[in-house]
Structure 1
Amino acid sequence: MRSTLWKAIAAVTVAATGTVTLALAACGTSASDPNAALRVGTLPDAPPSIYFENGQYTGYDNELLREIGKRENFEVKFVGTDFSGLLASVANRNFDIGSSTISTTEARKKTVAFSNGYNTEFTVIVTKKGANLKDPAAFGGKRVGVVQASVQDDFATKRLPGANVARFPDYNAGFAQLRTGGLDGWVVPADIGKKYIEQNADAQLEVGYQVESKDTPSAFAVRKDNKELLAKLNDGIAKLIADGTVKRLHEQFFKAEPLPKELEPGGPGLPVTNPGA
């Protein structure tokens, strides 16, 4: 029931917000109005990190950003979008911030600047139960899905030798294909994959393979020249680590996942270095 409703909401949201995004592109950036809410590009269908529920965008990433705004004196307005165009939309001023569990890869730093990290990354390949696909070599000749332009797209291309990689615009599309047998594996961030499995027990899915990386933590994306906003984001993240808000929100949205020790109160955080900084 929840899964069907979620898909309907996500479809309506993306359809609606596509028009909004185009309209915003014609209006320029909020930089011309210092009192305007900052426009934040996000996804509607990737719980527990980012999703649309009860009429608003929420999830760990987005609630963290709201808390940063309270401490740094700015407001945010969330707009649904596809991941494949998110970073370009930040770079060309359609969005002020990208909030979408974005991994801070070197390739992406050529397009945008990143805040310090607010979560580490686990990648999983979700499969049908009993598929016995437990290591990268097992996916040779198999059809594996990814969200286009995601870090999982890069992972599947480079680390699943012989796999036939299929690209999708969002998470719901890939999960739907996996459920109906159109995919043998669906490569996603661990939190998103495990949440879907938990909420859709009837689908008979499991995590076939998992790998961890702390080299490219999740972070918010901003324009390279928006150093003032970048400083506010980093200052806000540091405050939220120190006062325990990061810990509280992580426990709220990731009930089964441990908080990285770097993000515990008193921890050093997850610094991200941008080229030319």
Structure 2
Amino acid sequence: MALLAMVAGIVMTAPAPGQAQAQAQTPGPEGRLARIAARSELQVCIWPEYFAISFRNPRNGELEGIDIDMARALAARLRVELRFVDTNFASFMGLLEGGQCDIAMFGVGITEARAARIAFSEPYLSSRVYGVTTRDNTQIREWADIDRPGTVVAVAAGTVMEPLMRSTLRQAEVLVVRPPATREAEVRAGRADVFMSDYPYTRRMLLMHDWARILEPPGPFGETRYAYAVAQGDPAWLAEVNAFIAAARADGTLRRAAERNGLLPIVLP
């Protein structure tokens, strides 16, 4: 269905779980779908360092990952051009609220704190939290070695790992890393002993760095569902995003994108 037709007369159905919060608020005088149609462009927030999700390959400068593929599919569905807007987990909500992005498509973990500011789509991925240390670290050999006095655990600012590790660690110190610094650089420099991330990012570490060693968590530690995020107050736009995800599941678009990027193990059915 062409985007202009949807703007002219969108039929609302009963809200999916991800829609309830946005529908409780009053949309602005001009909805997001109309603004996208007027400019003939979909503006998508991404974090370009997220391997297999929204990664700018340093070898050729090209963007790749499941959400790069999905963003292209969404733009094609809306019949508009696509523009990516670089951001990170510490800044993306402000860009959504300020209108610089129509949607964030880079594996945004669903948390209560974020849901107070933004609206989430239905989830499409789920990941546990993993640790990454160096192969020559003799003090941390397994997960149980992390929470000990003197251990420094690096987390990226604004990620789900920041509040998770603050609430679960009892003896180790949490180091919050903000751009342009990186968690892996802190570990390599010896300022941190281990850093926390998820399935996609830790697969990158194994593929690209021979010094990295992954620490498997106990059970479903830190398991988080990932979704797309939009500004609150526009139920028509959120409904269209959810309809897109449902269609991508039904026609295999989501599964093919996951398979291309090595993420089939964490795709939600």
Q: Do the two structures share a fold, i.e. TM-score over 0.5?
A: yes
Query: What's 1:248 paired with?
Result: 256
Query: What's 2:233 paired with?
Result: 225
What is the rounded CA distance, in whole Å, between the counterparts of 2:181 and 2:75 in structure 1?
A: 29
Confirm or deny that 1:82 pairs with 2:88. yes
Query: What's 2:154 paired with?
Result: 145
The superposition leaves residues 206-230 of structure 1 with CA deviations (integer Å, 9 ceiling, x where unpaired) of: 1123253697411111011122221
What is the rounded CA distance, in whole Å, between the counterparts of 2:229 and 2:180 in structure 1?
A: 20
Deviation of 1:189 (Å): 1.2
Confirm or deny that 1:164 pairs with 2:170. no
Q: Quick check: 1:147–1:153 contact (8 Å CA) kept in 2?
A: yes
- Using the TM superposition, name which of 230-239 and 131-140 deviates more: 131-140
Query: What's 1:55 paired with?
Result: 61
Between Structure 1 and Structure 2, which shows a larger proportion of helix residues? 1
Deviation of 1:177 (Å): 1.4
Query: What's 1:238 paired with?
Result: 246
The superposition leaves residues 58-101 of structure 1 with CA deviations (integer Å, 9 ceiling, x where unpaired) of: 31122112112222334331011232011122122222111221
Q: What code does the residue aligned with 2:265 have?
A: P
Structure 1 stretches lacking a partner, 5+ long: 1-28, 264-277
Confirm or deny that 1:208 pairs with 2:223. no
Confirm or deny that 1:178 pairs with 2:187. yes
Q: What code does the residue aligned with 1:146 have?
A: V
Q: Give the 3 Å change call, closer, same or farther, for CA 215–229 of structure 1 in structure 2.
A: farther
Query: What's 2:70 paired with?
Result: 64
The superposition leaves residues 94-146 of structure 1 with CA deviations (integer Å, 9 ceiling, x where unpaired) of: 22111221111111110000111121122111111254342356323311111
Confirm or deny that 1:45 pairs with 2:53. no
Q: What code does the residue aligned with 1:150 have?
A: T
- Give the TM-score taking structure 2 as reference length: 0.77
What is the rounded CA distance, in whole Å, between the counterparts of 1:167 and 1:196 in structure 2?
A: 19
Query: What's 1:113 paired with?
Result: 119
Query: What's 2:16 paired with?
Result: none
Query: What's 1:266 paired with?
Result: none
Q: Quick check: 1:126–1:209 contact (8 Å CA) kept in 2?
A: no
Q: What code does the residue aligned with 1:86 have?
A: F
Query: Which of the two has higher C-alpha Rg?
Result: 2
Q: Give the 3 Å change call, closer, same or farther, for CA 212–160 of structure 1 in structure 2.
A: same
Q: Quick check: 2:133–2:193 contact (8 Å CA) kept in 1?
A: yes
Query: What's 1:36 paired with?
Result: 40
What is the rounded CA distance, in whole Å, between the counterparts of 2:73 and 2:248 in structure 1?
A: 8
Query: What's 2:18 paired with?
Result: none
RMSD: 2.4
What is the rounded CA distance, in whole Å, between the counterparts of 2:98 and 2:183 in structure 1?
A: 28
Q: Quick check: 2:44–2:71 contact (8 Å CA) kept in 1?
A: no
Confirm or deny that 1:100 pairs with 2:106. yes
- Using the TM superposition, name which of 29-38 and 116-125 deviates more: 29-38
Deviation of 1:235 (Å): 0.8
- Give the TM-score taking structure 1 as reference length: 0.75
- Using the TM superposition, name which of 100-109 and 123-132 deviates more: 123-132
Confirm or deny that 1:155 pairs with 2:161. no
Q: Give the 3 Å change call, closer, same or farther, for CA 215–165 of structure 1 in structure 2.
A: closer
Q: Quick check: 1:124–1:190 contact (8 Å CA) kept in 2?
A: yes
What is the rounded CA distance, in whole Å, between the counterparts of 1:75 and 1:124 in structure 2?
A: 36
Q: What code does the residue aligned with 1:83 have?
A: F
- Using the TM superposition, name which of 92-101 and 217-226 deviates more: 92-101
Q: How many residues get paired?
A: 231
Q: Quick check: 2:128–2:220 contact (8 Å CA) kept in 1?
A: yes
What is the rounded CA distance, in whole Å, between the counterparts of 2:79 and 2:122 in structure 1?
A: 19
The superposition leaves residues 25-50 of structure 1 with CA deviations (integer Å, 9 ceiling, x where unpaired) of: xxxx9938623312222112120111
